[in-house]
Amino acid sequence: MNTLNSSGIDRIDLMQTLVRIVESGSLSAAAAQLNTSQPTVSRRLQSLERMLGVKLILRTTHAMKLTDDGERCYQQAKLLLERWAALEDELRGAGDEPVGTLRVRVPHAFGQDQMIEPLTRYLQRYPDVTIDWMLNDRTPDFISEDIDCAIQVGKVDDPSMVALLLAEVPRIVVATPELLSTYPVTQVSELGNLPWVSFSTFYRNEVTLRHDSGGQTERCMIAPRLATDSLYAVRKAALSGLGAAIVSAWIVTEDIAQGRLQQILPGWNALPLPVYLVYPYSTYYPARLRKFFDMMRSVMPALAEMQPPTQGSADSR
């Protein structure tokens, strides 16, 4: 037996390295996630291959591919690491006490406005936890980017992820009073006469509105003057009088109260957007993640202008 790898901790390190290489997609990315150098990662991989007596990864200048033995080793290593983490937490008495770093991806507007207060309370309650709070509106690659979980506004298309429906974001149609004095609107079909700012993540050339009481829906084609994937930019453009816009209700509450914006056709609103907590499947989740899940479930429906999930909506996938 190779004495270098005779201790359990060395074997765990080698398995961790293999999992990071596979899930990050390269030795250099694995080195960054493990806070070490690429030569060190390469040596660990070679040590694991010598210890097992098989080739795990085939590498060329431009590609990397698991061998059949490598695929089996990766699957077993991932399972063993999850069990090892659970055992460590149990023996250290840390099973229910959050420790370590949590990496969370959150949409820009939501993450720097609505979520900071509950996030602060979470960190004050658990002083041994640190959080990497990454603001980005695109869907993360959880494995290669080493993301623990994400808050996602809008539908979740990846069936390999757990997606818990937390709340829904009401959306309303707004414009400046000055714009509406130039383009009066009395019915949904007249919305197309307005200049528009589109939030391209969710609508661009067509808007669909639903009546609050009757439930009927109507569609209207629009020709946006500006299309952007930033909710903040949509609000600013609407405030400038550039065009009408559909926005999350929470972001314009004060603007409407102070008369800077006006809701168009009250009672007709865009369909609310679902807010999901998304994370990879695993056989074990550390306490810092479990407690974060609990916090999200409890605070999300209570945030400004949020509403509980519609009855009958799927809670997970």
pLDDT tens, residue by residue, 229-273: 999 999 999 999 999 999 999 999 999 999 999 999 999 999 999
CATH code, 28 = 1.10.10.10
- Residues 293, 156 within the same domain: yes
- Residues 48, 189 within the same domain: no
Q: What is the pLDDT of residue 70?
A: 83
- Residues 16, 138 within the same domain: no
Q: What is the pLDDT of residue 52?
A: 86
- Residues 177, 262 within the same domain: yes
- Residues 119, 47 within the same domain: no
Tokens of 105: 């991806």
Q: What is the pLDDT of residue 224?
A: 96
d(CA 136, CA 132): 12
Contacts of 21 (CB under 8 A, 6+ apart): 27, 30, 41, 45, 57, 64
Which residues form the domain of 72?
11-91
Instruction: Say what percent of the chain tops pLDDT 90.
Output: 47
CATH code, 217 = 3.40.190.290
- Residues 288, 158 within the same domain: yes
- Residues 199, 68 within the same domain: no
- Residues 49, 65 within the same domain: yes
**Alpha-helical regions (H) of the chain:** 8-24, 27-34, 38-52, 68-91, 108-112, 116-125, 177-182, 231-239, 253-257, 287-299
Could you say which residues of the chain have pLDDT below 50? 1-9, 312-317
Structural domains of the chain, count: 3
Q: What is the pLDDT of residue 146?
A: 81
Q: What is the DSSP letter of 309?
A: P
Q: In this predicted model, what pLDDT tens digit does every residue of 180-191 receive, in sequence order?
A: 999 999 999 999
In a domain, 161, yes or no: yes
Q: What is the pLDDT of residue 6?
A: 43
d(CA 173, CA 155): 21
pTM here is: 0.71
Q: What are phi and psi of 92, to 5 degrees?
A: -85, 0
Q: What is the pLDDT of residue 72?
A: 86
